[in-house]
Structure 1
Amino acid sequence: MDYLWAALAFGLVLLLRQPFAALLVRQGAVRHNYRSRPVSFPWGVLLVLALTAVYSLRSLVEGANLLLWQGLFASYGAGFLGLVDDLLGDTAAKGLDGHLRAFLQGRRLTSGLIKAAAGMLLAFVLGMGTNTWGALFISALNLALAMNAINLLDVRPGRAGKGYLLFFALLFFAGYGEAARTVGLPLALALLAYLPLDLGEKAMLGDTGANALGVTLGLIISRDLPPLGQLLALLVLVALHALTVFYSLSTLITRLPPLAALDRLGRPRN
């Protein structure tokens, strides 16, 4: 049944792609990407709506499932925080350190700082149910850092989506756990239905979508992996974030041929 529900998520996004694109254009929801090309955004809204439909219908058909409601709460909560940043985003401050400096030095509250603080609270709520405070702390950090990690990737067409699919595949085939099947797989297929628009530079996920992708990965890590696996995932995420403090992620990707080839996959050659 997991695959049927995931297929439904794929079908919903595929069915709604054209009318949703028309809606965004009518409302003037258009931004310019890194090549100054106009793209409709934020398409993360459609992904969250598709997940809402799938999770809700599955709960009605199969009965209450805590993981489904956690997935719904995670995607809505993280998606909402991303939407706030999409609509009110302060582009003058970059990165968490930039938002902190803006607040500490100029007493200027930015949408990025609000998103970071609220995102951490959301991560702790989603991490509840663990046996110890240490386990809760590791779970919450994995959720928060996974959410931000996809945001770090979301600076080129298709990169955030590919990042989610790559990490999801590793988690899915490593453990084949319940969270990967229940919440990760529907999002993966919904994303596949959307991704051609992103790769073709016609659409952009926005923080709404990047947050939903990242928090779902964090939920899979915190629910499917054993304690040692969660700790290893946390170390990888911390290392990734530390790396981006000193180096541009885009520069690193272009300098590593396998990653550069994956990054270009599916994009127009021009």
Structure 2
Amino acid sequence: MITTLPKALPLGTAAAVTRAAYGLLRRRAPGGRGRWERTNYAGRTVDLYSGPAVVLGTAAAAVTAPGLPARTRGAAALAVLAAGGCGLYDDLAGAGDPRRGFRAHLSALRDGELTSGAVKLFGIGAAGLAAGALVKDRPLDKALAGVVIAGAAHFVNLVDVRPGRAPAATLAAAAPGLLRSGPAGALSAAPAGAAAAVLADDLGERSMIGDAGAHALGAGLGLAIATGYGRTGLAAHAAALVVAAAAGDRISRAAGAAGA
């Protein structure tokens, strides 16, 4: 059950650290408030403080969850912090860049320009593969786990197009994992707790988790999946996430073309 200590502790830790970090960032506003403010789809000004707060909450909860092997803790820190860090870089450095989709950023790279989107693409991919290698033993399983971790990070970011969708999708995706025992259950609780902590602010259009928060939540979910499934389950999840990424890339390019 969700109320057992291995799940309740990371759930509570994630929520508490996320809220504490969010409050601190709102008070301090590193670099000035203008750096952290954006205009959302409805023309309202929202802040990005909840993004790095979610990164810290998810990572802290996953790393300190009881009963995890040392390699799994290392994988959690690597996957969540790298995904969140790359996402935060894109949030801050890529603001105003109209290019959308993998193809646009890869085309820019061929022309000699390293975009923030390309940094995010390669950084999260590499971190996912490294984290997958820590939690699985056989080469194919390592690769599949890496695809799942990176793919889940990208998927949660794909659904983050309206207020509350990414945290709500995280809670829905984490629910089956919370019913499981062992590392998968404990790891599912980390992104769930962080998502729950910012859901009201996201829905209320006071803050948005941005790429930082969405990618961190997704990486946390992906790691939970990677630890909870064998090769067949990993292959099924990896295939579904690759299809979702390809579809999302087409939609992003179409939206960019329509707005050009």
- TM-score interval (norm. to shorter): 0.7 to 0.9
Q: How does 1:186-265 map to 2 (within 5 A)?
A: 186-247=190-251
Change (3 A) 1:8 1:96: same
What is the alpha-carbon distance in structure 2 between the residues aligned to residue 146 and residue 36 of structure 1? 29
For the residue of structure 2 that corresponds to 1:102, the secondary structure is: helix
Report the equivalent of 1:151.
157
1:183-209 Cα offsets, whole Å, 9 max, x none, are 220321222121100000000101111
Report the equivalent of 1:83.
88
What is the alpha-carbon distance in structure 2 between the residues aligned to residue 147 and residue 162 of structure 1? 15
Q: TM-score, normalised by structure 1?
A: 0.80
Report the equivalent of 1:73.
78
What is the alpha-carbon distance in structure 1 between the residues aligned to residue 69 and residue 184 of structure 2? 18
Change (3 A) 1:102 1:199: same
Alpha-carbon shift at residue 77 of structure 1 (Å):
1.3
Moved more, 63-72 or 1-10: 63-72
What is the alpha-carbon distance in structure 1 between the residues aligned to residue 127 and residue 70 of structure 2? 20
Q: How does 1:173-184 map to 2 (within 5 A)?
A: 173=179, 176-184=180-188
For the residue of structure 1 that corresponds to 2:187, the secondary structure is: helix
For the residue of structure 1 that corresponds to 2:123, the secondary structure is: helix
Q: Is the 8 A contact 1:13 1:50 kept in 2?
A: yes
1:106-133 Cα offsets, whole Å, 9 max, x none, are 3222111121112211111111143332
What is the alpha-carbon distance in structure 2 between the residues aligned to residue 234 and residue 54 of structure 1? 25
Report the equivalent of 2:16.
11
2:172 to 162, 166, 169: 166
Alpha-carbon shift at residue 244 of structure 1 (Å):
2.5
Moved more, 177-186 or 33-42: 177-186
Q: Is the 8 A contact 2:62 2:190 kept in 1?
A: no
1:101 matched to 2:107? The reply is: yes
What is the alpha-carbon distance in structure 2 between the residues aligned to residue 237 and residue 39 of structure 1? 30
Q: Is the 8 A contact 2:85 2:212 kept in 1?
A: yes
Change (3 A) 1:209 1:245: closer
What is the alpha-carbon distance in structure 1 between the residues aligned to residue 42 and residue 222 of structure 2? 31
Report the equivalent of 1:264.
none
Could you tell me which amino acid in structure 2 is paired with residue 193 of structure 1?
A: A
Q: Is the 8 A contact 1:93 1:102 kept in 2?
A: no
Alpha-carbon shift at residue 38 of structure 1 (Å):
0.4
Change (3 A) 1:206 1:245: closer
What is the alpha-carbon distance in structure 1 between the residues aligned to residue 113 and residue 146 of structure 2? 27
For the residue of structure 1 that corresponds to 2:43, the secondary structure is: coil
Report the equivalent of 1:267.
none
Which structure 1 residue ranges, 5 or more long, are not aligned? 252-270
Could you tell me which amino acid in structure 1 is paired with residue 234 of structure 2?
A: Q
Q: Is the 8 A contact 1:51 1:72 kept in 2?
A: no
Moved more, 220-229 or 131-140: 131-140
What is the alpha-carbon distance in structure 2 between the residues aligned to residue 114 and residue 196 of structure 1? 30
The share of aligned pairs that are identical, in percent, is 29
Which structure 2 residue ranges, 5 or more long, are not aligned? 256-260
What is the alpha-carbon distance in structure 1 between the residues aligned to residue 121 and residue 161 of structure 2? 18
1:19-67 Cα offsets, whole Å, 9 max, x none, are 43333496331111111110010422112223454456557xx797432
Q: Is the 8 A contact 1:42 1:209 kept in 2?
A: no
- Superposed CA RMSD in Å reads 2.6
1:40 matched to 2:47? The reply is: yes
Paired residues, what number?
A: 245
Q: Is the 8 A contact 2:22 2:50 kept in 1?
A: no
Change (3 A) 1:55 1:142: closer
Change (3 A) 1:108 1:196: same
